[in-house]
Amino acid sequence: MTSSSPDRIESSLAPAAARRRLDVLVSAPFPSVRRGIAALLGEFDDLAPRTESTYDVAGQSSQPDVVVVYQPSGAIGADLSESADFQRPLVLIVEGVLTELPSLSTRPLAMVPAEVDGETLHTAVLAVSQGLTVIDTTFASSAGISWKQPQLPQGDTPDQLSAREKQVLNLVASGKPNKTIATELGISEHTVKFHVGSILGKLGAESRTEAVTIATRRGLVAI
């Protein structure tokens, strides 16, 4: 999912006030990690997180709406990706570099890095609960995923970037790092990375420098 911003996704997917809270099962190898993730999700009124032993959801009287699993290795084992217990919408919090993409089967799946913030994790949970698949740009290349679009002919300069993407692009062009951009725009650093990935895809660029060069040529950033 690359065409919508996290802010827009969260706004469009947030359950209505009258709707019950999403039942979110949190699973991780260590109790402290489970409690930490549950506490992070518990800050949001539309989620009801609970914890269980690692990968143990069998025998539950009611199936959760979403399962959030902390995966301490970049390799997603077949026992997890194929387990019948995990045919619910799944959010994987992956530590380290993703070395293989799990089988998507027929269920919605989100993959986010271990340093994910609460806002982004909340957005991922809402997305998979609505049947969407979300893959963080951090994992895209290692998973063999690409959404690069053909570069437009020189001189063709459509206004294809969103207002927020233009803000991010101009700050990138000024040489500012993601952390500084996040502070100036009042958004998370992870959201900045999301926007940068979307900008690269829309401009058909391989790097931030190339994106700035293309955008300058098309008049999308001031010289």
Q: Is 153 within a domain?
A: no
pLDDT at residue 105, as a whole number:
57
Q: Could you count the other beta carbons within 10 Å of the beta carbon of residue 103?
A: 13
Q: Is 223 within a domain?
A: no
Q: pLDDT, tens digit, for every residue of 142-174?
A: 555 555 554 545 444 444 788 888 889 989 888
- Which two tokens mark 170? 């101009």
pLDDT at residue 203, as a whole number:
85
Q: pLDDT, tens digit, for every residue of 39-55?
A: 999 999 999 999 865 44
**pTM (whole model) above 0.85:** no
Q: Is 193 within a domain?
A: yes
Look up the CATH number of the domain holding residue 78: 3.40.50.2300
Are residue 66 and residue 133 in the same domain, yes or no?
yes
The Cα 211–Cα 216 span in angstroms is 8
Q: Is 154 within a domain?
A: no
Q: pLDDT, tens digit, for every residue of 5-31?
A: 555 555 445 444 445 789 999 988 888
Are residue 130 and residue 202 in the same domain, yes or no?
no
The Cα 185–Cα 207 span in angstroms is 22
Q: Where are the beta strands (DSSP E) in 28-113?
A: 47-51, 66-71, 90-94, 109-113
Are residue 208 and residue 128 in the same domain, yes or no?
no
Q: Is 132 within a domain?
A: yes
Give the residue-averaged pLDDT of 189-201. Answer: 87
What is the residue range of 170's domain?
A: 163-217
Binning pLDDT at 50, 70 and 90, where does residue 121 land?
A: very high
Are residue 126 and residue 180 in the same domain, yes or no?
no
Last residue of a domain, one of 88, 107, 140: 140
Number of domains in the chain: 2
Give the residue-averaged pLDDT of 67-85. Answer: 60
Are residue 83 and residue 131 in the same domain, yes or no?
yes
